[in-house]
Amino acid sequence: MALFWIGISLALLGLDGYLGWSAFRQISSQNYPTTDGVVTHSEVEQRAGGKHVEYSPNVQYRYAVAGKTFTGHRYRFGEVYALEGLAHQIVAGHPVGKHVPVYYNPGNPADALLRPGLDGGDLFLAAFLLPLNLVLFVIWAMMAGKLWRDKSKAPAGGAMTWNDGFQVRVRLSTVRPWIVAAIVAGLLAFAAIFVALGFGAPHPPMVMMVIAWCVILAGGLLGDIGCRWRLAQGGSDLVIDTTTRQITLPRMMGREMELAIPMGAITSIEVQRVERRSGRGASLSFYVLTFAFTDPSGSPCRERLLEWADQARTEALAAWLRELLRIEPSREVVG
């Protein structure tokens, strides 16, 4: 499985690199000097592309720089695959014998093109690849985070903590703002692809794709900000108050209200492994961190704090809490 994801990631990285380099050259070519050129050949080429036929404009031209004659065939950087109508439109606009401005690299005049700058097709391809790029980014980032926590033995199982001298807050939510931003941006990009299909994709109007990218980026930013604001409300925070000597469990694991427990009433902090079946029948392990304590009447009670799929992280948080609250470790209970 790891080799599969590595292969997919390398292939996508290679495609991203090719498209990125082509886009960079397209942008740079806007500053190229120009010279007069003459179209010497112009036709639409057809290529078999799986179940579909791909059309590409083949426009060749002759131009001169500093008294030396050159021939060119590049319409723009990167392969130009187009819808049949667009390919014929490009060819029709460049008939043989027509004089056209040729943009050439001043450091290498043989490096030339007819159409500098980005167009809607470049932004469409970027939006098309964005969801897959984000999925792979999230997967690799989460794997890297797990490796870092395991290697560095991050305190509190890697959960964010704050201590102002009066309260210790532990953020238990596994939701990350950057993941929310990636999901929102990916979904908006996915939607933009289908909208663009109705406007001449893979070469939709530039204005439409600029608007689409503004929506994608704004949506991702708002998703990040909204998630950060929600987390800042503290609804998923465990609060340990050193002045009142009580610990407050957040509204999680079925609790409709926060639950305050005196520190002196806590008898143990346990990690319980539970097995569940997925929709396909596979067995999945989850680890529940549970507080055992006595209520005011002296009756034993148990309250679940959280449920994580990472055993090492759950046990690390339990050990951190035991040390902070000075509670002896208990044996793991398997359920």
- pLDDT band per the 50, 70, 90 thresholds, residue 331: low
Q: Residue 172: which of 278, 291, 276 has the closest Cα? A: 291
- pLDDT band per the 50, 70, 90 thresholds, residue 246: very high
- pLDDT band per the 50, 70, 90 thresholds, residue 81: low
First to last CA, the chain: 29
pLDDT at 196: 87
* pLDDT tens, residue by residue, 302-326: 999 999 988 989 999 999 999 999 8
Q: How far apart are CA 321 and CA 323, in angstroms?
A: 5
- pLDDT band per the 50, 70, 90 thresholds, residue 82: low
pLDDT at 148: 80
pLDDT at 80: 60
Count how many residues are written for the chain. Answer: 335
- pLDDT band per the 50, 70, 90 thresholds, residue 334: very low
Residue 328 has pLDDT above 60, yes or no: yes
* Contact yes or no for 96/38 (Cβ under 8 A): no
Residue 33 has pLDDT above 90, yes or no: yes
Q: What percent of the chain has pLDDT over 90?
A: 63
Residue 93 has pLDDT above 80, yes or no: yes
14, 30, 39, 100, 128 from 34: Cα distances, Å: 32, 10, 15, 10, 33
Residue type, 139: I
- pLDDT band per the 50, 70, 90 thresholds, residue 52: confident
Q: How far apart are CA 57 and CA 88, in angstroms?
A: 7
- pLDDT band per the 50, 70, 90 thresholds, residue 262: very high
Tokens of 67: 């008294």
What is this structure's pTM? 0.81
Tokens of 330: 């208990």
Per the prediction, the chain carries an average pLDDT of: 89
Q: Does the N-terminal peptide bond of residue 101 adopt cis geometry, omega within 30 degrees of 0?
A: no
* pLDDT tens, residue by residue, 137-196: 998 888 888 788 777 777 888 889 999 989 999 999 988 999 999 999 999 999 999 998
Radius of gyration of the chain (CA): 30
pLDDT at 145: 81
pLDDT at 284: 87
**8-22, 25-39, 193-207, 237-251: range with lowest mean pLDDT:** 193-207
Residue 332 has pLDDT above 70, yes or no: no
Average pLDDT, integer, range 69-85: 82
